[in-house]
Amino acid sequence: MWHTAERTPATKAIQARRYEKDDIAGDKIAEMDIPNSSSRTTAIRDERSPLLSDNEADGPLYRTISRSTTAEFLPPDDADIGTSKQNTSQKGSVSSGVYATISVLLLGVFLCNADQSLVLATYGKVASEFNDFDSGSWIISAYIIAQCVAQPLYGKLSDIYGRKACLQTSYILFTIGTAFTGLGRSMGEVIASRAVQGAGAAGMTSMVSIIITDLVPISEVATLRAYVNILQTTGRGAGGVIGGVLTYWLGWRWAFLVQVPPTIIAILLVQWRLKMPPTEGNELTRWQKLKRVDFTGSLLLCLTIFSACCLLETGGQKYPWNSTPIITMAIAFATALILFLISARFAAEPIFPLRLMTHYAVWTNYLIVILQIMVQFSLVMIVPIYFQVTAKATTAAAGAYLIPAFIGNTFGGLISGHWIKSTGLYKPPTVAAPFLAILSVCLCFALWNGHTTVLESFATLPGGMAAGMVSSSAFVGLAAGVEEGDMAVAGSGMYLCFSLGAIAGASAGSAVYQTSLKMGLESALAGIENGTQIMQRALEDITFVQNAEETIRKLIVPAFVNSFHQVNLLELGCAGVCLLLAAFSQGKRLKH
């Protein structure tokens, strides 16, 4: 099927964004002449066309997800042509118009990340109001699990229904969930509303990064991803403070309800600023689009992720690993995974194509992200506890010791983005990140022995830099290693890896910490009068450890320090494997 299309200079400039395949291809691209105004007749490629054309300028801006080349199966072209035409120069640079568009999207990124830490300051009050402390943790867990479950769905759905429609849907879900959380009349309603919030938050972050890859040259993606990372870090840092103040002065309900107006403003700004042109994909009827959705695969994928998250959230913490609930969830996970793999094998357009996992760039960068985020989250989870025990720090003061890691996270993303933009090389930051993580863990192991100075507390800064660098460089490595038409699905999968890495890091770190702490306390208090009672209280109440007699503290504090170091060993192992993966990952120079 032949198709005639008018190509504007801006569209051609975007098409010229290609990294060098080899010297010959690089020379051809470098010498390519892009006139100021012309039209060109081109053909949509079919299954017999080569993937790498000798003339890259004639390649489509977006390749199709489907193997079919008929117009009804082409995904909607969601590049903001109104913005791109005016603001993307022929050299691939990005002007203020595109940055203004992306800055509008960052408001949603800030809001959903602020909510993640805001709830930490409110869930205790919520649980106490409903007299249900046992279910209080599910106010947090429901959000995280729903976010993980919804994360991979946005990529494929945005290929079918368009980027803007999916982004707006995520905003609406977040708004509804936030409002009903604040208006909840029971713990069940609050938890269900938090799940809706999480499903919306999944798209508010992942869709922004996908849209960024649509609007700017690949060499600019890392820089803009760094800005996304800064807003995420700022949101998480500010959310706890905002939530604490609002809960104290107005009550926990207003801590949620106050988020609704700015989210509605974000919806309106996106509707105004992010203009999407009509395309062939948009000409499909609702029924034709609906037929493209892999409902069976979506359901099975959601069940797989849900059971995996429940395993990580509760295994070894709420339930022993050999308990009936954990075994049941493990069986459910294995069953759902097998059924999903079978479904994806035979589906016409699977929600997550299995062929993507055969791409070297996909599975290596996915694993790098999971391992690096595991290192980061397992570390920041126990840092406040360490200072509460060893320095008798208050909750607020202990939390302040996380600031170096947050600062490092911000600078790591900026450094990585600047490096990639300047050199076109994304592998060096990916390799440097696990080196920095190993350095951070070794510094903590060597310096944090129960009497840590303020200067020594900055040992977490390199670890924060490592996480920030990987969040930018791995995303660019993924984008450079897959077809443009696959980027939405692959990008959503990477965001799922960020969430899974956080859950796995917190779960594994907590399991190692609790196990080693219990063994250490049993050994330290052996033969001591009331040793069993002292151990039980030390495991349950940090305040008891802080206020214990000095003779008791001399016995139990070393056990806490040793447990911290055991988690360091876990982190060292994860960082080491991450370094090996990064060293053998793909690395090509991006075309500026």
Examine the domain organization and report whether 515 and 549 are in the same domain. yes
Average pLDDT score over residue span 1-18? 40
pLDDT top residue among 389 and 95? 389
CA distance linking residue 28 with residue 121, whole number of Å: 57
Contact 368, 581 (CB under 8 A): yes
How high is the pLDDT of residue 536?
A: 87
Residues 6+ apart with CB under 8 A from 585: 360, 361, 364, 365, 368, 427, 430, 431, 477
Evaluate whether 144 touches 503 at the Cβ level (below 8 Å): yes
Cβ(477)–Cβ(143) below 8 Å: no
* Most confident residue range from 32-46, 280-294, 494-508: 494-508
Do residues 438 and 344 both lie within one domain? no
Residue 301 lies in a domain: yes
The DSSP symbol for 35 reads: -
Split into its structural domains, the chain has a count of 4
Domain-located, residue 435: yes
Based on the fold, state whether residues 260 and 166 are members of the same structural domain: yes
What phi and psi, each to the nearest 5 degrees, are found at residue 492? -65, -40
The span from the CA of 479 to the CA of 473, in Å, is 10
Single residue among 350, 372, 389 that ends a domain in this structure: 350
Yes or no: say if 339 and 476 are a contact pair by the CB < 8 Å rule.
Answer: no
Are 87 and 198 in a shared domain? yes
Are the C-beta atoms of residues 148 and 494 closer than 8 Å to each other? no
pLDDT value for 17: 43
Residue from 459, 430, 450 nearest 585 by CA:
430
Burial of 235 (0-12, 13-18, 19+ CB in 10 A): buried
Determine the average pLDDT of the residues in 486-494. 88
pLDDT at residue number 94: 55
Cα separations (Å) of 340 from 63, 357, 360?
25, 14, 22
pLDDT of res. 155: 87
Same domain, 577 and 459: yes
Q: List phi, psi (to 5°) of 132.
A: -140, 70
Residue 358 confidence (pLDDT) above 80: yes
pLDDT, tens digit, 9 for 90 and up, residues 197-250: 999 999 998 888 888 888 888 878 878 888 888 888 888 778 877 887 888 888
Query: Does any domain span residue 250?
Result: yes
Mean pLDDT of 307-322: 81
Residue 450 maps to a domain: yes
Give exposure, 180-211, as e/b (b: 16+ Cβ within 10 Å).
bbbebeebeebbbbbbbbbbbbbbbbbbbbbb
Three-state secondary-structure class, residue 208: helix
Asked if residue 190 has pLDDT above 80, the reply is yes
For residues 592 and 450, state if they share a domain.
yes
Average pLDDT, the chain: 79
DSSP 5: E
Please indicate, yes or no, if residue 71 is contained in any of the structural domains.
no
Same domain membership, residue 232 and residue 112: yes
Q: Average pLDDT, stretch 400-411?
A: 87
Each residue's pLDDT tens digit, 84-138: 433 444 334 555 667 777 888 888 889 988 888 788 777 777 877 887 766 777 8
- How confident is the model at residue 282, as a pLDDT? 63
C-alpha closest to that of 485 among 368, 355, 367: 355
pLDDT at position 264:
94
Instruction: Kindly give, in sequence order, each residue whose CB lies less than 8 Å from that of residue 472, ignoring residues fewer than 6 positions away.
Output: 222, 223, 225, 226, 229, 413, 416, 417, 420, 429
Q: What are phi and psi of 253, to 5 degrees?
A: -65, -40
CA 552 to chain centre: 42
* pLDDT tens column, 550-575: 888 998 999 999 999 999 999 999 99
* Amino acid, single-letter form, for residue 359: H
pLDDT value of position 444: 94
| Domain-embedded: residue 66 | no
Residues 476 and 555 in one domain: yes
Hey, what are 458's tokens? 């900055």
Structural domain boundaries, residue 167: 79-283
Helix (H) or strand (E) holding 4: strand 3-5
The DSSP-derived string for 555-574 is HHHHHHHHHHHHHHHHHHHH
Is 477 in contact with 369 (CB distance < 8 Å)?
no
Contact yes or no for 370/486 (Cβ under 8 A): no
pLDDT value, residue 196: 95
398 with 523, same domain: the answer is yes
pLDDT at 263: 93
Residue 2: what residue type?
W
How far from the centroid of its chain's Cα atoms is residue 204's Cα? 11
Q: What is the pLDDT of residue 529?
A: 81
User: Do 93 and 135 lie in a common domain?
Assistant: yes
- Looking at residue 122, the DSSP 8-state letter turns out to be T
- Nearest CA to 581 out of 362, 353, 423 is that of 362
Of the candidates 247, 207, 204, 305, the residue with the CA atom closest to the CA atom of residue 117:
247
Looking at residue 278, what is its pLDDT? 52
Q: Flag the least confident range among 131-135, 347-351, 395-399.
A: 131-135
578 touches 471 (CB < 8 A): no
pLDDT at 25 over 80: no
Residue type for position 515: T
Backbone angles phi, psi at 41, to 5 degrees: -95, 130
Please check whether residues 313 and 212 belong to one and the same domain: no
Looking at 283, 304, 339, which one is the last position of a domain?
283
Block residue for tokens 């951070």: 440
Task: Estimate to the nearest angstrom the gap between the alpha carbon of 429 and the chain centroid.
Answer: 18
Q: What is the DSSP string of 318-385?
A: TB-TTSHHHHHHHHHHHHHHHHHHHHHHH-SS-SS-GGGGGSHHHHHHHHHHHHHHHHHHHHHHHHHH
DSSP 42-108: E----TTS-SS-S-GGGS-SS--SSS--SGGGSPP--S-HHHHHHHB-TTS-B-HHHHHHHHHHHHH
Nearest to 365 by CA among 504, 497, 230, 222: 497
The DSSP annotation for 384-418 comes to HHHHHHHS---HHHHHHTTHHHHHHHHHHHHHHHH
* End position of a domain, from candidates 244, 263, 283: 283
305 and 192, same structural domain?
Answer: no
Q: Whole-angstrom Cα distance, residue 13 to residue 59?
A: 12
- Cα–Cα dist 29/32, whole Å: 5
CATH of the domain at 581: 1.20.1250.20
